[in-house]
Amino acid sequence: MDFLYSYIALAEIYVLLGLSTNLLVGIAGIFTVSQAAVFGVGAYIVAYCLMHDVMGFVPALLVAAAICVVLNVLVTLPSLRVSGDYFVVTSFGIQLLATAVFVNWTAGTGGANGLPGIPSPDVFGYQLESSHQLVLLTTVGSALGCLAFWLIMRAPFGRLLRAIREDELAVAAAGKGVLRAKVSAAALAGAFAGSAGGIYATFLSFVDPSSFDLDASILLLTMVVVGGARTLAGSVIGPFLLLALPQVLSLIDIPTSIAASARQLIYGVLLIAFMLFRPQGLAGEKL
Amino acid sequence: MLALQLLVNGLVTGCALGVVAISFGLIYATTKLFHVAHAGVYTLSGYLAWSLVGHGVPAIGAMVVAMAAAALLGGLIQGVLYAELERRRATHLVVLIASLGTLAVMQNIIAAVYTPNILQFPLPWSSRMVSLGAVRLTWTQILTVVLCLSAFAGIMWFSHRTILGKQIRAVASNPFLAEITRLRPQRIYVTVVAIGSAVVALPGILVPLDLGLQPYSGITPLLTATIAMIAGGIGSIGGSFLVAVGIAVLQNMSLLIMPGEWSIGVTFGIFIIFMLFRPTGLFKGR
């Protein structure tokens, strides 16, 4: 039973991340491979705050989300101002730089060994200890995320983002601020990824750089692409399906030494196959 | 003296990086695709050469075969995958994701076949030292400078003096107009990616000869090379090469004041400065 709980909780955390990636890739049409880095920043901030008793879980989560918003705005603003392909470089750059910081800044992040023993979260005075209490937390978190995503998509801002993806020039000609909308999308994505990171840190009570590297970003992109870009359903289906994949693989007899590469290999094949034959994913719209 | 040695090391690394930058620039300027999978071709060529050398093929032969294989692989990626996506009217974003998928596939096939550990070339001469005044160089470094500078000169000559090079530049500057004059852009794209892939195999073999092979190590040089390409001016072969050398020298000199783990920060810092103040690059092409 505990196993099922942890699968659901992890998938729900990835739903939040999927929403964040979907907002950038699917809705605003910005390619990104740095969402795992932002996720990591959120995780490390919350871990630090709880381990050093700086503040409680909820304020720490808000701080993490706010810092991730600022971070995403600071890095997207200059590159989006110039050209779309510059953001590809920025995105890879942030991811590699973040990995370097996570691995080498031993004082703050524990280096490659990570930070063990992160205390369990407290929500308005209640200490969440057992696994079903934690599932409750992730469920509430991801439900709030989904609600926010749904509301944003229905709002004028959501329509503006979709219009930009369809025809940037026409939107600019209609007098709308294209750059501002894109940067806002990036800021929102930062808030989603940052809070997902905070919940992840307390859920696992352990963080290390391997959860936030380029491979993790590629996994996120695969989730969105497989689930379906631009829709809420897509961002929910993708994480649940792809997180089940390692379990399926463990049924097949693959030597453990190549299990990790085999998994990544499948993600790569999925990316290519979906782009070729079904770019809208299982439950998405045209990418 | 350390500074001088670091300067020379930077110049050597810069030559290799410069060749990565011009190979990527050639592809990017012509096909307008952000060919991320180029990093996979770079890595794979090194592993191929390693296997061939391990089976007793002489180093020169291994290099030539690996370059040919890289050309074939690059041509296939463009001719099969990208052309098919183009036929399906895929957006830029879709092609980019497919390219990233291709990179993931290549890297993980390498990791599964060769293990993720560092592999060294079994060539004792490659690490033998030569002293030139106060500076010590390995034979690999000397070979890198010679071969990469020749590759640079060769590409300069090729793209400005040969018919094919001129056709490529014609397609790069205006594919529609080129098509009217009976050039076939899709065929030229395959040729360009094949040539770019063969060229990138050169640093793909020479760099690991010095530092060893790792399956996931291709993305950092590609990113650095892309930054050099942007900062040097897209379409400017000389500009990309010069900036690549400049970045590598700065990275090496930065070792004087900070540990090597942060060199990616230096590179990325250079990119942000360029993006803010000189987004079209130092030497703007066409």
Q: What is the CATH number of the domain that holds B57?
A: 1.10.3470
pLDDT reported for residue A54: 85
pLDDT reported for residue A87: 86
Lowest mean pLDDT among B48-52, B75-79, B113-117, B245-249: B113-117
pLDDT reported for residue A131: 79
Residue B3 has pLDDT above 60, yes or no: yes
- CA distance to partner chain B, nearest, from residue A112 (Å): 13
- B228 three-class SS: helix
In a domain, B60, yes or no: yes
Domain residues for the domain of B226 are 2-116+138-277
Task: Judge contact between B216 and B111, C-beta under 8 A.
Answer: yes
Give the C-alpha separation, B97 to A274, whole Å.
Answer: 10
Query: Average pLDDT of B61-71?
Result: 96
Q: Do A96 and B219 touch (CB under 8 A)?
A: yes
In a domain, B217, yes or no: yes
Query: Average pLDDT of A166-177?
Result: 88
pLDDT reported for residue B134: 83
Does residue A46 or residue A78 have the better pLDDT? A46
Q: At what angle do helices A84-104 and B219-232 cross, to 10 degrees?
A: 140
Q: Do B111 and A261 touch (CB under 8 A)?
A: yes
Give the C-alpha separation, B286 to B275, whole Å.
Answer: 19
Q: Do A93 and B109 touch (CB under 8 A)?
A: no
Query: Average pLDDT of B32-54?
Result: 95
Instruction: Considering only the C-alpha atoms of chain B, give the largest distance between any 2 of them, rounded to a whole number of Å.
Output: 60
Please tell me which of the candidates A86, A97, A225 has its beta carbon nearest to residue B97: A225
Among B63, B53, B98, which residue's Cα sits nearest to residue A274?
B98
In a domain, B125, yes or no: no
CA dist B216 → A94, A211, B17, B40, B222 (Å): 17, 16, 17, 9, 12
pLDDT reported for residue B284: 61
In a domain, B127, yes or no: no
- Token readout for A191 is 């808030």
pLDDT reported for residue B282: 77
In a domain, B187, yes or no: yes
Please tell me which of the candidates A33, A96, A279 has its beta carbon nearest to residue B100: A33
pLDDT reported for residue A1: 59
- H or E element at residue B130: strand B129-132
Query: Checking DSSP bridges between strand B129-132 and strand A122-123, what pairing results, if any?
Result: unpaired
- CA distance to partner chain B, nearest, from residue A259 (Å): 8
* Nearest residue on chain A to B84, alpha-carbon basis: A276
Give the C-alpha separation, B195 to B233, whole Å.
Answer: 20
Does residue B234 or residue A271 have the better pLDDT? A271
Q: Do B104 and A218 touch (CB under 8 A)?
A: yes
In a domain, B179, yes or no: yes
Among B30, B102, B24, B36, which residue's Cα sits nearest to residue A32?
B36
- Token readout for B126 is 């490659």
Query: Average pLDDT of A167-173?
Result: 88
How many CB atoms lie under 10 A from the CB of residue A105?
A: 14
Three-state SS sequence of chain A:
CHHHHHHHHHHHHHHHHHHHHHHHHHHCCCCCCCHHHHHHHHHHHHHHHHHCCCCCHHHHHHHHHHHHHHHHHHHHHHHHHHCHHHHHHHHHHHHHHHHHHHHHCHHHHCHHHCEECCCCCEECCEECCCHHHHHHHHHHHHHHHHHHHHHHHHCHHHHHHHHHHHCHHHHHHCCCCHHHHHHHHHHHHHHHHHHHHHHHHHHHCEECHHHHCHHHHHHHHHHHHHHCCCCHHHHHHHHHHHHHHHHHHHHCCCCHHHHHHHHHHHHHHHHHHHHHHCCCCCCCCCC
B230: alpha, beta or left, given left = phi > 0 and alpha = psi -120 to 50? alpha
Q: Do B92 and A92 touch (CB under 8 A)?
A: no
pLDDT, one tens digit per residue, over A224-255 is: 999 988 889 999 999 999 998 888 887 887 77
Backbone φ and ψ for B91, nearest 5 degrees, come out as -80, 165
- H or E element at residue B138: strand B135-138
What share of chain B in percent tops pLDDT 90?
67
Among B41, B271, B248, which residue's Cα sits nearest to residue A92?
B271
Query: Average pLDDT of A37-56?
Result: 92
- Token readout for A229 is 């870009």
Q: What confidence tier does B286 reach under pLDDT thresholds 50, 70, 90?
A: very low
Q: What is the CA A211 to chain-centroid distance, rounded? A: 11
- Token readout for A281 is 């994913």
Give the C-alpha separation, B82 to B96, whole Å.
Answer: 10
Q: Do B94 and A275 touch (CB under 8 A)?
A: yes
In a domain, B121, yes or no: no
Give the C-alpha separation, A47 to A220, whole Å.
Answer: 22
Q: Do A86 and B264 touch (CB under 8 A)?
A: no
Does residue B4 or residue A129 have the better pLDDT? B4
pLDDT, one tens digit per residue, over B148-188 is: 999 999 999 999 999 999 999 889 888 888 888 888 889 99
Angle at A201 between CA A195 and CA A206, to 5 degrees: 165
Q: Cβ contacts (< 8 Å) between A79 and chain B: which residues? A: 275
Q: Which of B24, B97, B263 should be substituted to probe chain A, the one whose Cβ sees the most A Cβ atoms within 10 Å?
A: B97
Length of chain A: 287
Query: Average pLDDT of B62-86?
Result: 96
CA dist B129 → A221, B132, B133, B136, B137 (Å): 46, 10, 13, 6, 6
Dihedral angle of Cα A105, A109, A114, A119, to the nearest 10 degrees:
170
Task: Judge contact between A56 and A122, C-beta under 8 A.
Answer: yes
In a domain, B47, yes or no: yes
* Number of independent structural domains in chain B: 1
**Which residues make Cβ contacts (< 8 Å) with residue A251, sequence separation at least 6?**
none
Residue A8 has pLDDT above 50, yes or no: yes
Among A251, A239, A250, which residue's Cα sits nearest to residue A282?
A239
Task: Judge contact between B13 and B252, C-beta under 8 A.
Answer: yes
Query: Average pLDDT of A199-204?
Result: 92
